[in-house]
Amino acid sequence: MKQTISAAGTPVPASVKLGTIFSWAMLFALVINLKKRLPEPWQDVIPVEKVEDVKICILLILCFFFVFVLAGAYDVMNGGETL
């Protein structure tokens, strides 16, 4: 038996989380929409075909961001010396 809740008079499955704005599926839909709006040669720049690809790309972006933050902190600690 499926549980449903009534939202604005419409039955909604209980598995739907109320108040969830961002999900991986919605982020995937946004990325695919962006990819489709790019000109044909540029569509290969975004290598996303499924939700797992979006998760990996986000993880890589966060790793690169963390590396640049650490490099900036190291530079600040050493007085911003240049070679």
Share of the chain above pLDDT 70, in %: 72
81 pLDDT above the threshold of 80: no
Q: Between 55 and 1, whose confidence is greater?
A: 55
Give the model confidence (pLDDT) of 15-37 as tens digits: 555 556 778 889 999 999 999 99
Residue 78's pLDDT is what? Answer: 86
66 pLDDT above the threshold of 70: yes
9 pLDDT above the threshold of 70: no
State how far the alpha carbon of 71 is from the alpha carbons of 37, 39, 80, 81, 83, in Å: 35, 35, 11, 13, 15
